[in-house]
Every structure is written in C-alpha cells, then in structure tokens.
Structure 1
Amino acid sequence: MFEKLLVANRGEIAVRVMSACEELGIETVAVYSDADRNAGHVAYADEAYNIGPAPASESYLDGDAILEVADRAGADAIHPGYGFLAENADFARQVEETAGVTWVGPSSDAMEALGEKTEARTIMDEANVPIVPGTTDPVESVDEVRELGAEFGYPIAIKAEGGGGGRGMKIVRSEDEVEDALESARREGDAYFDNDSVYVEKYLENPKHVEVQILADHHGTVLHLGERDCSLQRRHQKVVEEAPSTALDGALRDEIGDAARRGVREAGYTNAGTVEFLVDDGAFYFMEVNTRIQVEHTVTEAVTGIDIVRQQLRIAADEELPFEQSDITIDGHAMEFRINAENPAAEFVPTPGRLATYDPPSGLGVRLDDAVSQGDEVSGDYDSMIAKLIVHAPTRDRCLERSRRALRHFDVAGVETTIPFHRLMLEDETFRAGEHTTKYLDQSVDEAALDDAVDRWGTAADDRAETSTESHGTTDLVVEVDGRRFDVAVAGGLPRTTAASSGAGGSDGSASGGRSGTSQQVAASDAITAEMQGTVISVPVEPGDEVARGDVVCVLEAMKMENDVVAPTAGTVAEVSVTDGDTVDMGDPLIVLE
C-alpha cells in the first residue's frame, strides 16, 4: 500500500479521499489555491502546499505544479477526485511516467479511449452494448449536421467529444438552429475540455438517466455495484441521485449491469468508473463512461456497504478485489441531495458568500460529505457545492420521509441554498412516485412553486456570525513558508493594524482578478450589468451592433455554469466594457446600450 498520497482536488471530495487514506494508514498531501488557504480539505490533510492563484487554470488545472508538489512532499500516489484533472488522460499519462508515483484511476489509454465520446460509442457497439443512433466520428460542418438531422429526425443533440454533465451539449429542434448550436457546442467543448470536436446523436425526449457503478482490478475481475437513478436534473445537471432506480425491473437490472461490465472489459478498463445509460420505454442505450469517481458514488456505498474509494486505492496498489459479483447485494434505498450555494427562486443563480450559520443534520441513516464549517467563505471561483446530504433507509418511502426530516434540520444562513428546492421535491407527487424523467424539472416544475419554497424555507444572506480566531490570549494563524502551509498559534494575540499600515501587498482576500476595482465603479443607467460574480467566456457583440430584446450580449461562467446575459430591451451597443477572460463582480457594467 502507499505511504503518502496527494489529492489533486479540493473541497468535500478531497476530504472523502483523505478519510479513506487515513483508515488505510496513508499520509495525505493537499494542494490549494490562494482562494482556498483556509479551506476544509487543507486543514484535514497531513501536509498542504500552495499551487497558485484562485483561477483553476492557474492552480488546480496546473498538472506541472501538482507533480512538483508530489515530488517535494515525497508522495508516491495521486488521486484526482472528480472534476479538474480527473478525466484528463494527458495528466494521467504524466503521472504514469513519473518514477515512484502511482495514478489512482484507470490507465491513461483507457481514459483516452472512453473520454472521446465517439470512440467510446464504437467500443460499446463492438461489445454489443446498445447505443443511441448517431455518429461514431466527429462532424465538421453545418451542412453535415443538417443532413444528420434529416436522417435521424429532429430533435438531435450536438455533443462535445470531451463533454459531460450537459456541458458542450446543445439540443437542436430544427435545421434553423443548427449553425448557432454547432458554434456554441464547439466553444464550450474548447473552453471546458480543450477539445472543440463534436458529434451528433438522436435526442431522446423523456428518458430516465440510469448509471452503473463498476470496479475492475488488474487481475481480471470486473464487477458492477448496481445502478443509480440520476434523472432529476436541471439543464442536464444532476441535483438528486438515488439507488436503486425505480425504472428497472429485475430482468432489466441484470441486463444493464451485464452490459456495463462487457463494455468496460472491452475497453481494458481498471479501477472505479461509471457507465451511464438512457432508459426509454423499457430499452436502454449507452450514453458515456465517466472514468473517475462520481459525485453520487455515496448512494452506491450506502446500499452496498462497499467503500468505493478504499477499493480504488487497493486496485491502484495492484491488490485483488475481495469479492465476486455474486457477493454484491443491495440493501434498502439511498438518496443524495446536492446542497449548493444557489438561489432556486432566481434561476439557481450562484450565491457565493460567508456561511453565517452552518448546522447540518445527523441521526439514523444520515451521512454528510462536506469540507466547510460555520464562518467559512463559499468562493465564487469554483463549483457551487457546499455539501452532499446522503440518506439511507430500508425502503424508498422511508428514505423519502427520513430525507424530509434531515432537510428540515439542515440550517444554513448567509447564502441561499438548494435546500428549499429539495424540500419542495419531497412534496412533489411525480418525484415521490419515481415517475420523473430528465426533462421533468425544466418542463414541469412551476417557477412560482420555487419562489414560494424559497420564501418558506430559504435564508436571506446576512453578515452575522463574524468569526474571530482569538481566544484565551492566543490567535490562530495560517502561515506559508516557501509555498507550504503551516498552522500557527500566537500567544498573547496580535497588534491591530489599519489598512493604511498593512503594506503595499494588501490582503489575500482583496484580489478581484482581471478587472480589479470594477466593483466600485458606478454603472451607467443604461448599462447591462453582471448579476453574479464570474468570468467572461465570450462577448458576441461590439459597438455599433443592433440588438433585439432577449439577444445574448455576453456569456459568463460562474461556479462552473455558463450563463447567458441578454439585452433587456432593443437598442444599439454603445460600449463594451469587458472582454474574454475578464473577471467581474455583481453589478459591474458589461454592455452599454443606447
């Protein structure tokens, strides 16, 4: 087994991996950006090292910096968690080629093969796994996409080859929409996955999203751990996951599990992974493989009793899986609720801020995966997830009631969260009956019901619970020496200083990115301003352009979500205040219309 493992991630998944390491007697190394100096995963680790500024591109996505830390710390293994570099085959190959360091995950070759969606479809087809009708090669032109639309029948989906989670996917319902959708899918594919290749497949209108967890070792054992239902989605982003799925009977459950095993065996895949399917009218179709641990692995752990991260580590250390397929049984029902810093009453806009109150529930059948505490800052630089609430019970009905109890006692203040949305879903008859599909939220949930849920159960942002680290004559500080983090207790407290005497360097929390100071500017009355903190992805207009009401004038990325900024009225673009890559704060001017 390994002696010291570096977790190339942040937040709750980093803590989750570290907890498994702790039980196995493996020391842990955290990496962190400037924005995460005081983050929970940093405090949990045995050692922690700074790897750069807040933008992920300059820190958590910097593979060279991470490998440099692994060398400095003497780590002999790297676990990528999910997101960031977790499905980056090039980074996995870098780790594989680094002497004395083991990659905790599938081989880079398997990641590369299954990460390219067209090649993955080919592999699955060869393994006799049903696939959605579509292309197995990238498409190149608008005309080619229109021909495919005529062949398959609209709607069709244009998907980024390296995409996932709905990013880089555009639904096209007529040939008139093809050109804009193709450009947008390519742009997102390039921005999120450094790959602008796209493919086309038939779009299923109202399917269930069912995924199968697999484990495969280096000794020929390939297992599935049952399925999860991830059909409750908003704009293709999962919000609640459960195991097992209400969409499968016994026979279909066996078929889909066997298909997942065949597919990953055909790909020569090892370690943990997830094979995702769409289920429609009693048939299932392969969608993609996630070559990493999943956010929702927790519900599978709850119903099988198997620690998936522990098995990841054992497999990477070349140990054999300690069980066979016949040993895998499903016990009860589990649900995972993603607790995100988002406002359901405002199109789920991200709501970064300070956790004035953070008091999660506990009790029988309740598990919480998080890396935050009361007083912590939820940064707008990364994903909006605060925590994952996992509830397990003997039956689905009891799981629903236990979840209702747990969410009622989940107390958060300082930021709006998705808790009111989850509580609303637990009163929703379609969800309670398990009859929801991937389109249910976007098509059927009343906006007024979301507004009412936030009014009843939401928490307006406030600035109470200002925290102080001073007590009993000591002050707790975080000190960096040559990029490595140390916790220091200073006896007798510290002298108070004013901003004027703090030096030219300023404070770490004052950095505002590419447009420092813009949050203090006064926007013109006819300016279109940012409704959230974020990064400018694109500005499709320039001075002199005529725009109509509802036209997209800017695209912002906030907490890993792409948000269109539209013109509130028709007019002429008089001024463009931002450019691609700029960081903006809420209220900053973006476009001025005349």
Structure 2
Amino acid sequence: MFEKVLVANRGEIAVRVMRACDDIGVDTVAVYSDADKHAGHVRYADEAYNVGPARAADSYLDHEGIIDAARQAGADAIHPGYGFLAENAEFAGKVEETEGVTWVGPSADSMRQLGEKTQARKTMRDADVPIVPGTTDPVESVEDVHEFGEEHGYPIAIKAEGGGGGRGMKIVRSEDEAAEQLESAEREGEAYFDNANVYLERYLENPRHIEVQILADHHGNVRHLGERDCSLQRRHQKVIEEGPSPALTDELREEIGRAARRGADSAGYYNAGTFEFLVEEDPEREPGELLGPETNFYFLEVNTRIQVEHTVTEELTGVDIVKWQLKVASDEELTFEQDDVELEGHAVEYRINAENAANDFAPATGGKLETYDPPGGIGVRVDDGLRQGDDLVTDYDSMVAKLIVHGSDREECLARSRRALAEYDIEGIPTIVPFHRLMLEDEAFVGGTHTTKYLDEDLDEERVAEAQEQWGTETESEDSSDDDVVERDFTVEVNGKRFEVNLEERGAAQLATTAAAENGGGERPEPAGGSDDGGETVVEGDGETVEAEMQGTILDVNVAEGDEVEPGDVLVVLEAMKMENDVVASHGGTVTQVAVAEDDSVDMGDVLVVID
C-alpha cells in the first residue's frame, strides 16, 4: 500500500478520498489554489501545497504543477477525484511516466479508449453491448448531420467526444439548426475537454438514465456493484440519484449489469468506473409497474473515474469504493465474487448545491456559512468539506455537500429523507434543499415515473418558487456582535508548501488595504476609461444595458458595435458552472457598445452589451 497520496482535487471529494486514506493508514497531501487557501480539504490534509491562482487552468488543471507538488511532498500516488483532471488521459499518462508515483485510476490507454465517445461506442459494439444508433467516427461537416437526419430523422444529439454530464451536447430538431448547434458543440468540446471532435446519436425522447458501478483489478477480476438511477436531471446535470432503480425489474437490472461487465472486460478496464445507459421509458407506465427485460437499453458512455454518486452504491453494498481504488492501484486483488454483491435496502443522494432553484437554479455569487448544521441519525450520511463560518468559494462547482440517506426500502428511505432535509440547517447562502423537499412531495418522483426530461419540461416552476419561499433560509448575514474582533490570517509558503499563522485581536483596527496604503489611506483612484477590480463597467454607448445574470467566463461574442439585432438573437455565450448559457437580446435595436471580449471573467450584474 502507498505511504502518501496526493489528492488532485478540492471540496467534498478531496475530503472523501482523504478519509479513505486515513482508514488504511496512508498520509494525505492537498493541493489548493489561491481561492481555496482556507478550504476544508486543505484543513483536513496532513500537508498542503499551493498550485496557483484561482483560475482552474492555472492551478487544478496544471499538469506539471500537480506532479511537481507530488514530488515535493514525496507522495507515491495521485488520486484525481472527479472533475478537473480525473478523466484526462494525457495527465494520467504523465503520472504513469513519473518515477515513484502511481496513478489511482484506469490506465491512460483505457481512458483514451473509453473517454473518447466514438472509440467507446466501437468497443461496446464489439462487446455486444447495445448502442444508440449513431456515428462511430467524428463528424466532419454539417452535411454529415444533414445526412444522418435524413436516415434516422430528428431530433439528433451532437456530442463532444470528451464530453459528459450534458457538456458538449447539443440537440438538433431540424435541418436549419444543424450548423449552429454543430459549431456550439465543437466549441464547448474544445473549451472543456481540449477536443473539438463530435459525433451523432439518435436523440431519445423519454429515457431513464441508469448507470452501473464497476470495480476491476489488475488480475482480470471484474465486478459490478449494481445500478443507480440518475434520471432526475436538470439540463443533463444530475440532481438526485438513487439505487436500486424504482423502475426496473430484477431481470432487466441483471441484464444491464452483465452488459456493463462485458464492456469493461472487453476494454481491459481496471479500477473504478461507471458504465452509463439510457433505458427507454414507457410513457404509459403507472407507479408500481416495472420495466421488464424486453425494454430497450443503450450504452451511453463510460466515466473513467469515481462518480459524485458513488456513495449510493456504498450504502447499498457496504463496499468502500474509494478504498478499493487505492487497493487496486497498489496491485491488490478483489476479495469478493460477483455473487457476493448484494444490494441491501434503498439509498438516495441529494446534491446540496449553492443555487437558488426558484431563480432558474442560479448559482450563488458569494456568501458565508453563518449557520451550518447538517443532519444525523441512523441511515444518514453527509459528505462535505465545510464548517460553520466558511466563506463560499464561487470559482468552481456550485456543489457544497452531499446528503445520502439509506433505508430498508424506498418508502422508508424517502421518509427518512424528509426528516434529514428538514434537519439540514444552512444559513448565509442559498441552497437547493427546498427543491429536494419539494421532490419528496412530487407525484412523479415519488412514483418513480420521472425521466431525464421531467424537470426541464414538466415541473411547474411556481411550485419551485413556493418551496423556496416555504423552506428557504436566510442568505444575508446578521450584524455581528463581534465587530471589534479582528482576525488576521497569515499564510507563508516555502517552496510552495503551506504554513499558516492565525491571530485574533479584540479592539484592534482593521489593517489598511494595499491600495489604500499606497494612496495615503485615501480613496482608491478610478482608472481612466474602464473599471478597477471592484468597480463598474463604464457605459459609453446609448441605450439599454444587457447584464450578466451570473458569474462566469465569456466564451464567444457574437455582435459588434453597429450591428442590428432582433429579439432572441444571441449576443454573448457565457460559460457558468460548466454549462454554456446564451445571452440573448430581449428587444431589437442597434448595438452601441460591447463591453466584454472572449475569455473575460464577469460577475453578476456586469454590463455585457448596450443596445439602443
């Protein structure tokens, strides 16, 4: 077994991996960006190294920086968690080539084979795993989309080879949309996965999203740990996951599990992974009815890493998946047979995102956890990296914690979930806890008849607003009675390694900011033309302003000064929370100012375009 593992991630998954390491006596190393210097995963680790500024590309995605931190710390393994570099075959290959450091995950070759969706489809087809009708080679031009539509009909899904979770996927509902959606999918694939290749699939209108957890070792042993139902999604992003699926018969469940094992074995896969499938739902199915073995199911993709929702399977099986990732990476053999795997009861995971569900799930732009009191009791698990008083870091993902509830059956699990969510006390930031409580009163979810389209197409938004009003918590900080207490944190880095000093003084004056000190304590000067770091954009054009509705990065600017636009025209493409968001014109007119450029970072309320 390893002596010291560097966790190349942040947040709750970094803490989750570190806890598994502690359980088997392995020391841990955290890496952190400037934005995360006080983060929970940094506090939890045995030692921590700064790897760069807040921007992920310069810190958590910096291949050499992460590997160099492992060398400095003397780590003999790197665990990537999920997200960031977890499915980056190039990075995995670099770690494999680093003397004395082991990659905790599948081989770089397997990641290339299964991470690129067209190659994965070929592999599954050869293993007799059903695949959705589509292409197995990258799309070369918009004419390819037209030809596919003529053969298979519309709608068509255009998917990025390196994509996942809906990122890099665009839906074409008619020939007229093909060119625009193809360009958008290619751009998103390049931006997120450094791979602009895309492929085509027939788009299934009413699917369920079923995934199978795989564990495999270096000795040829492949096990599946049952399935998870991830059908409750918003814009292809999972919100609630559960297992077993409330919609499948045991026969269909086992058939899908065998298909996943065949696929893993054919690909020579080892370590943890998830084989995802789409199952065609029967729109006439009533609650309590189940989908039998005659139901069509199709391979979707392989996630060559640990999943956010792996916790559901752990609660059902008692198997510590992260611990087995470490054991497999250190060349240990799986000690259980497929027949030993039994699913006990029912488990559900609720993603606790810092978002306002009543405001189109807009992510929080800041805040402090004035109150943080997670639930407890039998059958309740919380994975997080937070503590009361922490500032919310908004530079990355919006998920701050995960609530996992287990019961003897689905009915008990949902009842226990209602209790646990009611106990979850978070104040200072918005969360989607009210949304989760609404789902536990929702007929479709409770009946298990929901599909991946349910939240986007069928859920009444007024019900979400009512839930937020009924169960939402305060997001504004109360005046503190300790205003005369000044806490000063000093972080010293020596060769990139972190050392901290914390001082708390009562009755002390606040330290002057650098800018104020440089100007004799006076006001910070306004730069000529434009804005300072905390100021507002100078609006020079005449007309109405179009502002950013959330924090993000500008991916594309589609207009220039002098352009004529119509209502609904896309002005700017804004990336926020790993999703592309089209900023459209609400009225027609002439563009008199474009205040942003490609790759600019913007905050909520920043002016993007002015239209007269």
C-alpha deviations, 1:197-222, integer Å up to 9, x for none? Answer: 00001011001000000000011110
* 1:573 counterpart residue number: 591
Instruction: Give, in whole Å, the separation in 1 of the partners of 2:84 and 2:8.
Output: 8
Asked whether the equivalents of residues 518 and 584 of structure 1 are also in contact (C-alpha less than 8 Å), the reply is no
Which residue, out of 305, 311, 318, partners 1:298? 311
Q: 1:432 to 1:476 in 2, by over 3 A?
A: same
Instruction: Give, in whole Å, the separation in 2 of the partners of 1:449 and 1:492.
Output: 48
Between 451-460 and 174-183, the greater mean CA deviation after superposition: 451-460
Instruction: Give, in whole Å, the separation in 2 of the partners of 1:291 and 1:220.
Output: 17
Post-superposition offset of 1:500 = 5.9
Post-superposition offset of 1:150 = 1.1
SS in 1 for 2:477: coil
C-alpha deviations, 1:337-361, integer Å up to 9, x for none? Answer: 0010111111111113222222211
SS in 1 for 2:72: helix
Asked whether the equivalents of residues 518 and 585 of structure 1 are also in contact (C-alpha less than 8 Å), the reply is no
Asked whether the equivalents of residues 519 and 585 of structure 1 are also in contact (C-alpha less than 8 Å), the reply is no
Post-superposition offset of 1:546 = 1.3
Post-superposition offset of 1:175 = 0.7
* 2:610 counterpart residue number: 592
Identity, in percent, stands at 63
Asked whether the equivalents of residues 491 and 501 of structure 2 are also in contact (C-alpha less than 8 Å), the reply is yes
Post-superposition offset of 1:474 = 9.1
Instruction: Give, in whole Å, the separation in 1 of the partners of 2:71 and 2:358.
Output: 47
Q: 1:349 to 1:496 in 2, by over 3 A?
A: closer
Instruction: Give, in whole Å, the separation in 2 of the partners of 1:71 and 1:106.
Output: 21
- Letter of the structure 2 residue corresponding to residue 336 of structure 1: E
Post-superposition offset of 1:279 = 0.6
SS in 2 for 1:318: coil
Say whether 1:14 aligns with 2:27.
Answer: no
* 2:272 counterpart residue number: 272
* 1:100 counterpart residue number: 100
* 1:421 counterpart residue number: 435
* 1:205 counterpart residue number: 205
Instruction: Give, in whole Å, the separation in 2 of the partners of 1:309 and 1:468.
Output: 42
* 2:289 counterpart residue number: none
Q: 1:202 to 1:575 in 2, by over 3 A?
A: same
Instruction: Give, in whole Å, the separation in 1 of the partners of 2:479 and 2:308.
Output: 30
- Letter of the structure 1 residue corresponding to residue 85 of structure 2: L
Asked whether the equivalents of residues 543 and 611 of structure 2 are also in contact (C-alpha less than 8 Å), the reply is no
Asked whether the equivalents of residues 515 and 584 of structure 1 are also in contact (C-alpha less than 8 Å), the reply is no
Asked whether the equivalents of residues 356 and 466 of structure 1 are also in contact (C-alpha less than 8 Å), the reply is no
- Letter of the structure 2 residue corresponding to residue 578 of structure 1: V
SS in 2 for 1:382: coil
Instruction: Give, in whole Å, the separation in 2 of the partners of 1:72 and 1:470.
Output: 41
Asked whether the equivalents of residues 356 and 465 of structure 1 are also in contact (C-alpha less than 8 Å), the reply is no
* 1:517 counterpart residue number: 533
Instruction: Give, in whole Å, the separation in 2 of the partners of 1:149 and 1:490.
Output: 66
Post-superposition offset of 1:479 = 3.4
Q: 1:167 to 1:475 in 2, by over 3 A?
A: closer
Q: What aligned pairs does 1:190-339 form with structure 2 within 5 A after superposition?
A: 190-281=190-281, 282-339=295-352
Asked whether the equivalents of residues 537 and 595 of structure 2 are also in contact (C-alpha less than 8 Å), the reply is no
Q: What aligned pairs does 1:32-431 form with structure 2 within 5 A after superposition?
A: 32-281=32-281, 282-354=295-367, 355-431=369-445
Instruction: Give, in whole Å, the separation in 2 of the partners of 1:502 and 1:272.
Output: 52
Q: What aligned pairs does 1:538-549 form with structure 2 within 5 A after superposition?
A: 538-549=556-567
Post-superposition offset of 1:502 = 7.2
Q: 1:474 to 1:441 in 2, by over 3 A?
A: closer
Instruction: Give, in whole Å, the separation in 2 of the partners of 1:551 and 1:353.
Output: 30
Q: 1:482 to 1:504 in 2, by over 3 A?
A: farther
Asked whether the equivalents of residues 535 and 581 of structure 1 are also in contact (C-alpha less than 8 Å), the reply is yes
Between 561-570 and 152-161, the greater mean CA deviation after superposition: 561-570
Asked whether the equivalents of residues 20 and 309 of structure 1 are also in contact (C-alpha less than 8 Å), the reply is yes
SS in 2 for 1:378: coil
Post-superposition offset of 1:470 = 10
Q: 1:339 to 1:504 in 2, by over 3 A?
A: farther
- Letter of the structure 2 residue corresponding to residue 41 of structure 1: H
Instruction: Give, in whole Å, the separation in 1 of the partners of 2:306 and 2:483.
Output: 35
* 1:537 counterpart residue number: 555
Post-superposition offset of 1:38 = 0.2
Asked whether the equivalents of residues 33 and 59 of structure 2 are also in contact (C-alpha less than 8 Å), the reply is yes
Instruction: Give, in whole Å, the separation in 1 of the partners of 2:484 and 2:500.
Output: 14
C-alpha deviations, 1:285-305, integer Å up to 9, x for none? Answer: 000000000000000000000
Question: Where does the alignment leave 5 or more consecutive residues of structure 2 unmatched?
Answer: 282-294, 525-529
Instruction: Give, in whole Å, the separation in 1 of the partners of 2:398 and 2:546.
Output: 24
Asked whether the equivalents of residues 207 and 278 of structure 1 are also in contact (C-alpha less than 8 Å), the reply is yes
Asked whether the equivalents of residues 352 and 415 of structure 1 are also in contact (C-alpha less than 8 Å), the reply is no
Instruction: Give, in whole Å, the separation in 2 of the partners of 1:468 and 1:550.
Output: 50
Instruction: Give, in whole Å, the separation in 2 of the partners of 1:18 and 1:590.
Output: 42
Instruction: Give, in whole Å, the separation in 2 of the partners of 1:111 and 1:502.
Output: 51
- Letter of the structure 2 residue corresponding to residue 517 of structure 1: D
Asked whether the equivalents of residues 32 and 51 of structure 2 are also in contact (C-alpha less than 8 Å), the reply is yes
* 1:583 counterpart residue number: 601
Post-superposition offset of 1:492 = 6.9
Between 204-213 and 495-504, the greater mean CA deviation after superposition: 495-504
Between 408-417 and 218-227, the greater mean CA deviation after superposition: 408-417
Between 146-155 and 291-300, the greater mean CA deviation after superposition: 146-155
C-alpha deviations, 1:229-269, integer Å up to 9, x for none? Answer: 00000010000000101221111111111110010111111
- Letter of the structure 2 residue corresponding to residue 486 of structure 1: F
C-alpha deviations, 1:418-448, integer Å up to 9, x for none? Answer: 1111111110011001110000111110111
Between 160-169 and 354-363, the greater mean CA deviation after superposition: 354-363
The count of aligned residue pairs is 587
Instruction: Give, in whole Å, the separation in 2 of the partners of 1:108 and 1:318.
Output: 16
Please report the TM-score for the alignment, with normalisation by the length of structure 1: 0.95
Question: Where does the alignment leave 5 or more consecutive residues of structure 1 unmatched?
Answer: none
Asked whether the equivalents of residues 375 and 467 of structure 1 are also in contact (C-alpha less than 8 Å), the reply is no
SS in 2 for 1:358: strand
Q: 1:238 to 1:492 in 2, by over 3 A?
A: closer
Q: What aligned pairs does 1:474-489 form with structure 2 within 5 A after superposition?
A: 477-489=490-502
Q: 1:332 to 1:338 in 2, by over 3 A?
A: same
